[in-house]
Structure 1
């Protein structure tokens, strides 16, 4: 009977760890969607439009360079929002926040573009977590029945 206690504890901890990780990933995804919405609202509130050039495309960001009407060149350190499909040297229309030119996006693209990748991430997370939680709970219930029967 003593050898079953660590397994029961490990099973309970496993359920909470899987549930916690899946919940944190879901929360991060929801936060990303709302961050995109907030950024789009900030740009819309003080909207500036410019033609920019794609300077560099890396796995984590797309660096652009554009000039504001006052002649100042800007290159947001975090890159452009919604840069899918851009390539180096390409000229693009940029929408930016005139009070903060570091916040810029490809013109015509919105936070709705975050729904597919974030939804996929959250969906895959729960597709993995769901069966894992079911399996852990099934093992836990079987152990509890065996303990009651013994």
Structure 2
């Protein structure tokens, strides 16, 4: 009975590793698709203006800008594609006139999300495949 239990545990572990790898891969692809969708929304009703970077980080940067109607906007989620920005910097941004909280750094688009997403997928599978192979080998030894 303990052999069956050990074999079942190995099988369940393999399934868990596979589910985790597939889930992370799907999430990475969805991230790129969401960025592409945001780009389409911005491009369909695009406004362009200058903005000041209030805070800068690798994953999130806060900006403030004024639209032609005189309204000042500080998008809660920050600016899309915020890499290599510095606080106090003046940048050009493109925003959706229908939703000015949807804003990206001018000249950047979803293509900048592809390399990080592919990197995540490659690393996940570089870990998952040898793990799956090792677990399958251990299970064959048990049988």
TM category, shorter: over 0.9
Q: What is the CA–CA distance in structure 1 between the aligned matches of 2:40 and 2:24, rounded to whole Å?
A: 24
Corresponding residue of 1:88: 87
Q: What is the CA–CA distance in structure 1 between the aligned matches of 2:44 and 2:59, rounded to whole Å?
A: 27
1:10 is the counterpart of 2:6? no
1:47 is the counterpart of 2:7? no
* Paired positions, count: 143
Corresponding residue of 1:128: 127
TM-score by length of 1: 0.93
Corresponding residue of 1:109: 108
1:56 is the counterpart of 2:55? yes
- SS at 2:128 equivalent: helix
* CA 117–40 in structure 1, closer or farther in 2 if over 3 Å, else same: same
Q: What is the CA–CA distance in structure 1 between the aligned matches of 2:56 and 2:12, rounded to whole Å?
A: 42
Q: What is the CA–CA distance in structure 1 between the aligned matches of 2:6 and 2:59, rounded to whole Å?
A: 41
RMSD: 0.9
- SS at 1:102 equivalent: coil
Q: CA deviation at 1:139?
A: 1.1
Q: CA deviation at 1:59?
A: 5.0
CA deviations 1:106-136 (Å, max 9, x no partner) are 0000100001111101110000000000000
Q: What is the CA–CA distance in structure 2 between the aligned matches of 1:142 and 1:3, rounded to whole Å?
A: 14
CA deviations 1:22-74 (Å, max 9, x no partner) are 01100100000000100000000000000000001245410000000001000
Q: What is the CA–CA distance in structure 2 between the aligned matches of 1:48 and 1:13, rounded to whole Å?
A: 52
1:24 is the counterpart of 2:33? no
